A and B are shown apart, each in its own frame.
Chain A
Amino acid sequence: DIQMTQSPSILSASVGDRVTITCRASQNINSWLAWYQQKPGKAPKLLIYKASSLETGVPSRFSGSGSGTEFTLTISSLRPDDFATYYCQQYDSNSFTFGQGTKLEIK
């Protein structure tokens, strides 16, 4: 199985900050990576696919980059609605795996 490791596990930041979350794969997954946002009690919401493609309707302050084994999700200027938990997911193989999550909390 391909293991996905996110860092940090918890990120404290303020409204207006630029933040970056990292996701590392245990082997090359090309660009087959997605990012999700999840709020308490809700299903995850797709933000980014194919490492850097922004899902329709997602604000442009969200961006993704990377390929191979290292990927990042960047939020350019945090809004209050962005405080949530973020997950990466690889889909290079037919055994899909998620990172353990990064909780973005208000400083």
Chain B
Amino acid sequence: QLQLRESGPGLVKPSETLSLTCSVSGGSISSSDYYWAWIRQPAGKGLEWIGSMYYSGTTYYNPSLKSRVTISVDTSKNHFSLNLSSVTAADTAVYYCARQGSWYSKYFRHWGQGTLVTASS
């Protein structure tokens, strides 16, 4: 059974870089059938897609975050990572990783449990 688990610091200082890792078990991150994605949700607000990555390195980013976001994959560790630079209080949110289908199935079927990241000094 596929499981995704987010990990990383729960507190990041403003202007610094937020770094999270999503560990994947029960499935290979090198599968050609899936993309791997990050989505966030500020407290009491809606869902915001951050970006998606294919195992080959192809990435798609939310245009509003593109200048600050990097998603990378480590196939040897079966995990993928999010870096978000120059954070502000507006980046405080629960961050989810998810598996997304490829081709015409780019919905999010499998999600991690989410991890809260607070941007504060």
**A residues in contact (CB < 8 Å) with B:** 1, 32, 34, 36, 38, 42-46, 49-50, 55, 87, 89, 91, 94-101
Contacts and interface: CB of A to CB of B under 8 A. Distances in A.
Interface string B30-43: 00000001000000
A44 B47 contact: yes
SS of A interface (majority): loop
B112 A43 contact: yes
A42 B41 CA distance: 11
Contact of A87 (B47, B96, B104, B109): B47
Contact of B60 (A32, A55, A94, A99): A94
Interface of B: 37, 46-49, 52, 60, 62-63, 96, 104-109, 111-114
B39 to A, nearest CB: 8
B46 A55 contact: no
B54 to A, nearest CB: 11
Nearest to A99: B46
B111 A98 contact: no
B52 A55 contact: no
B107 A95 contact: no
